[in-house]
Amino acid sequence: MLFAGQSVSEEAAQLAYALSLVHTPGTEAGECVSFLANSTEEGISAAVKLARHTAARCGRSGQVLVIDPTQSLVQYFDPVGDGLTDALAPGVRSVDSVTAAGDVLSAEAWAGVLIVLAADFDGRSEDTARLLSAAAAGGAMRIVCDRRPIPGATGDHRLPAAGIDADVWVHGENLTDNQVPFGCSVMTRRAYAVWNNPVDCLAHSSTFDAFARYVSPPAAGLLEAFGLDFDIKQARGSTLTMRDGRTLLDCAGGAGANLRGHNPPEVRATVAAHDPTHDYFADLEKYLTTLTGFDYAFPAVSGATCVETALTLARLAYPERKTIVTFRGNYSGKTLGSLSMSKHGPQRSATIPEAFRPHYANLVYIDPLAPNATHELKRALDRGDVGLVWFELIQGMSCWAISPDLVDVVAERKRTDGFLVGVDEVLTGGWRTGESFLAHFAAIGSADLTTLAKPLSDMTIPMAVMLCSGDVAKRADRHDPALVERLRYGYRHGLAAHVALDALGAVNTEEQHARRRHEYSATTELNITKSATEPGSSRK
* Per-residue pLDDT tens digits for 296-308: 999 999 999 999 9
Q: What is the SS3 assignment for 448?
A: coil
Residue 295: Cβ within 10 Å count: 15
d(CA 367, CA 475): 31
Phi/psi zone of residue 517: left (φ > 0), alpha (ψ -120 to 50 degrees), beta?
alpha
Predicted local confidence at residue 219, as pLDDT = 63
Q: For residue 431, how far is the Cα from the chain centroid? A: 22
Q: Which of 427, 425, 470 is nearest to 444 (CA)?
A: 425
pLDDT tens sequence across 29-64: 458 888 889 999 999 999 999 999 999 999 999 999
Contact 80, 71 (CB under 8 A): no
Residues of the chain with pLDDT under 50: 1-5, 29, 206-211, 537-540
Q: Within the chain, what is the greatest distance between any pair of CA atoms?
A: 81
Q: In sequence order, what are the beta bridge partners of 168? A: 143, 187
Order of strands, edge to edge, in the sheet holding 420-424?
Answer: 296-300, 464-468, 449-452, 420-424, 386-391, 323-327, 363-366
d(CA 5, CA 8): 10
d(CA 390, CA 386): 11
DSSP 464: E
Q: Which of 364, 356, 379 is nearest to 330 (CA)?
A: 364
Predicted local confidence at residue 209, as pLDDT = 43
Predicted local confidence at residue 222, as pLDDT = 66
Q: Residue 155 — φ and ψ, nearest 5°?
A: 90, -20
Predicted local confidence at residue 321, as pLDDT = 97
d(CA 119, CA 533): 69
Side-chain-side CA neighbours of 180 within 13 Å: the count stands at 10
Q: Which of 68, 106, 89 is nearest to 304 (CA)?
A: 89
Contact 104, 93 (CB under 8 A): yes
Complete DSSP assignment for 63-128:
-EEEE-TT-TTHHHH-TT---TTTSSS-SEEEESSHHHHHHHHTTS--SEEEEE-BTTB-S-SHHH
d(CA 151, CA 377): 55
d(CA 387, CA 385): 6
Q: In sequence order, what are the beta bridge partners of 240? A: 235, 248
Contact 183, 174 (CB under 8 A): no
DSSP 536: T
Predicted local confidence at residue 1, as pLDDT = 34
Q: Residue 537 — φ and ψ, nearest 5°?
A: -75, 145
Polymer length in residues for the chain: 540
Predicted local confidence at residue 347, as pLDDT = 53
Q: Which of 46, 60, 41 is nearest to 116 (CA)?
A: 41
Predicted local confidence at residue 196, as pLDDT = 85
Complete DSSP assignment for 24-46:
STTS-TT-EEEEEESSHHHHHHH
Contact 186, 158 (CB under 8 A): no
Q: What is the SS3 assignment for 144?
A: strand
Q: What is the SS3 assignment for 373?
A: helix
